[in-house]
Amino acid sequence: MNECDSEVKCTLPEDQLAQRKRELRSGLARCIEAAQYLSDGLALRFAESSEMRAELARFIEFEQSCCGFARFSLQTDAAQDALWLEVRGPSGTSDFAKQLVPPKIAIALVDPAAPGSLVKLGLAGAASALFAIVCCATPMLVLGMSAIGFSAATASVALGIDLLALPLLIASAVLLVVGLRRRRATSHV
């Protein structure tokens, strides 16, 4: 674990640091199931078990002694039956911590510090869906207008609106799914 920043460095001597890296890569790092960037660090997911909880507690205790820049916390996610180890600190902490993550694990880009973006995404999807639902009611408009003699004029307008409704409905569904997945991904934070 090399120095990434003047504030982000491990105080272990180089030989002990190299040994620690080997131990972590052959042990704890192999148990990482998922990882995601935080606004000020990295979160690592492990399977929930009393053994893993004890192993992570030992890891945190050791790392706090040599990496004083980092703040470690262990979160339980009952919905995913998982433990999340959060490593937070100054700029460069996420680069420092990602050295633990095996290459086969993709690190998700999640910014829980910006929950407003999820709300805006959900609102945009809901507004689009509402608009599409209203537009899909245009057949009722055609029937109603034809009853009073305006069927030809409203039929062409209704067809144009209906042709807009389908792409809007699809787009809103995509927005809602993305928003819900992002919210679920950040629910442990």
**DSSP per residue over the chain, as a string?**
----BTTB---S-HHHHHHHHHHHHHTGGGG--EEEEETTEEEEEEE--HHHHHHHHHHHHHHHHH-TT-EEEEEEETTTTEEEEEEE-STTHHHHHGGGS-TTSPEEE--TT-HHHHHHHHHHHHHHHHHHHHHHTHHHHHHHHHHTT-HHHHHHHHHHHHHHHHHHHHHHHHHHHHHHHHHHHTTT-
Residues sharing a CB contact under 8 Å with residue 20, sequence separation 6 or more, in sequence order: 1, 12
If you average pLDDT over residues 57-72, what whole number do you get?
A: 87
Give just the sign of the alpha carbon dihedral 1, 52, 184, 174: positive
* C-alpha distances out from residue 64 to 9, 29, 57, Å: 12, 17, 11
Nearest to 85 by CA among 47, 113, 50, 43: 43
Q: What is the pLDDT of residues 125-177, one digit of tens each?
A: 667 666 666 666 666 666 666 667 665 666 666 666 666 666 766 777 777 77
Whether the model clears a pTM of 0.85, i.e. scores above it, the answer is: no
Pairwise CA distance, residues 158 & 129, whole Å: 18
Q: Which of 27-41, 56-70, 86-100, 114-128 has the lowest mean pLDDT?
A: 114-128
User: Is residue 64's pLDDT more than 80?
Assistant: yes
Q: What are phi and psi of 7, to 5 degrees?
A: -95, -20
